[in-house]
Amino acid sequence: MAIATTLGMTAPAFAADDFSGRDRLRAHSQEFRKRVEKVSEGVYAAIGYSASNVTLIQAEGGSIIVDTSANPVDAKAIVEAFGDRMTHPVHAIIYTHNHPDHTGGATVFAGGDKPRIYSHKLLVTAKPDIGRGRRDGGDAFGIALPDDQFVNAGTQLEYGRVTPHTREGFLPPTQTFDGEEESLTIAGVPMQLILTPGEADENVSVWLPDRKVLIAGDVFLKTFPNIAPLRGLPTRPVEKWIASLDKLIALNADFIVPGHMGTISGADEAKDALTSYRDGIKFVYDKTMEGISKGKTPDELVQEINLPAELRQHPYLQEYYGTVAWAVRGIYSQNAGWFDGNPTHIFPLTDKERAEKLVAMAGGPAKMIEHAEASLSDGEFQWAAEQADYVLALEPQNVAAMTIKIRALRELGERQMNATARNYYLTVAQSLENDAQDNRSK
């Protein structure tokens, strides 16, 4: 039986023409079309010009900018798009959090104005994201993929493929606050800076009470959240994330600017989106914790936990960036550690030891490769990749096994709705193929 990874459920073998996940991901790219949206009177959001949104708040005698895009090139394009809606001086720049796609263009917006730069104190003291690096060439953002294979990066059209995410345009904060909330008035604009950890521990949501506008940062996005990222970061603090969304729901916003993708207009739609987002995360957390208390393993819980239909169908909980399955695994590890309770797994065989025994049972490498080729033909792409891995553990240069793995990863990638999974499958396949070509040319 093949494993379908789009929703984290065990499923029959893929049909040869089952590309519905990829088609949905392609349609999702509409979220990133370039435009400037008028959020409310005096508030504008630039969407699609960079990896993240930039918000312009018109103030007395000038402007306030929330987040600054990924780099100076993108920032210049956004300044041009804002046109005469943005006036100087820029009184203040506010960082919602420290991710480089939100902080890389500050020098362009500041120009010669010397604005105050606001953030939470955690932005200055927090450890940078490290991740596991590019294991086997895998890249969840698909930076190296050719244009005919790349679709998008889940929360953005592209991540550093055209213009890099750099610190070249970063300006360090000059004003920080240390606590849950800071109220202030900048150039006649009253606002609250609210600590709302989720995707980033230091995330600040900006609330404009007189305009009923919420600029949320990355605590709220139009995709199921990336609670346990493929790229090797710690599982995000789920209970804090839920509490952050409770804070935002209580504001009763009329308008929302997320950190990525389009804005929301209307109190009912805003409340529904925030509430459903909170409920989706909470459902997965509660069910995972319930399963842990009953002694269930992560593999069992991945098969059992699915969002209820009304949440599974909600446009703000589609699995373009994170998935329910990865969230379950992350929450399990975060709260119960790595051990699943099966004593067989305390000191398991190494991959090579297991491969030696399984390949021998299959009748040797040639027989295992034959079985793997049959799995490919049957659409059992996950099983084909695993069988190829057993052979490669023993014979890393086995051309037939490597070819099967590359084909299997490409088939899996092309059927994904989740952008990070798709990009990771396809970049590993590309890297392995490049390595194989290099070895053949030696």
Instruction: State how far the alpha carbon of 34 is from the alpha carbons of 47, 103, 135, 154, 378, in Å.
Output: 6, 19, 33, 16, 42
pTM greater than the 0.95 cutoff: no
Is the pLDDT at 6 greater than 50? The verdict is no
Best CA proximity match to 97, nearest among 22, 21, 176, 18: 176
Query: Residue 193 class from Cβ within 10 Å (0-12 exposed, 13-18 middle, 19+ buried)?
Result: buried
Three-class DSSP category at 32: helix
Is the pLDDT at 222 greater than 80? The verdict is yes
Percent of the chain whose predicted confidence (pLDDT) is above 90: 86
Beta-carbon contacts of residue 243 (< 8 Å; ≥ 6 apart): none
Beta-carbon contacts of residue 132 (< 8 Å; ≥ 6 apart): 231, 232
pLDDT tier at 136, thresholds 50, 70, 90: confident
Three-class DSSP category at 280: helix
**57-98 per-position pLDDT tens digit:** 999 999 999 999 999 999 999 999 999 999 999 999 999 999
Three-class DSSP category at 215: strand
Model pLDDT, residue 2 = 35
Phi, psi of 182 (to 5 degrees): -135, 125
Is the pLDDT at 198 greater than 70? The verdict is yes
Amino acid code (one letter) for 167? R
Q: List alpha helices for 83-180, DSSP H.
A: 100-103, 106-110, 121-125
Model pLDDT, residue 439 = 72
What is the average pLDDT score of the chain?
A: 93
pLDDT tier at 285, thresholds 50, 70, 90: very high
Q: Which residues pair with 10 in a beta bridge?
A: 3
Question: b/e for 293-320, b at 16 or more Cβ within 10 A?
Answer: eeebbbeebbeebbbeeebbebebbbbb
Three-class DSSP category at 441: helix
pLDDT tier at 135, thresholds 50, 70, 90: low
Model pLDDT, residue 158 = 82
* DSSP annotation string for 243-268: HHHHHHHHT--SEEEESSS--EESHH
Amino acid code (one letter) for 87? T
| Half-sphere exposure of residue 135: CA atoms within 13 angstroms, side-chain side | 8
Left, alpha or beta for 378 (phi > 0: left; psi -120 to 50: alpha)? alpha
Q: What is the DSSP letter of 15?
A: P
Best CA proximity match to 206, nearest among 111, 93, 108: 93
Three-class DSSP category at 191: strand
**Mean predicted confidence (pLDDT) in 196-221:** 97
Model pLDDT, residue 442 = 64
Q: Are strands 175-177 and 116-120 parallel, antiparallel or unpaired?
A: parallel
Best CA proximity match to 412, nearest among 426, 402, 398, 401: 426
Is the pLDDT at 12 greater than 70? The verdict is no
Model pLDDT, residue 311 = 98
Model pLDDT, residue 233 = 86
Cα 106 to chain centroid distance, Å, stands at: 23
**Mean predicted confidence (pLDDT) in 344-365:** 97
Is the pLDDT at 163 greater than 80? The verdict is no
Model pLDDT, residue 119 = 98
Phi, psi of 57 (to 5 degrees): -115, 120
Q: Are 56 and 44 in contact (CB under 8 A)?
A: yes
Model pLDDT, residue 14 = 58
**306-341 per-position pLDDT tens digit:** 999 999 999 999 999 999 999 999 999 999 999 999
pLDDT tier at 131, thresholds 50, 70, 90: low
Residues in the chain, overall count: 442
- What is the enclosing helix (H) or strand (E) of 207? strand 204-208
pLDDT tier at 216, thresholds 50, 70, 90: very high
Is the pLDDT at 110 greater than 80? The verdict is yes
**407-441 per-position pLDDT tens digit:** 999 999 999 999 999 999 999 999 999 987 777 76
Best CA proximity match to 306, nearest among 278, 291, 326, 284: 284
Three-class DSSP category at 21: helix
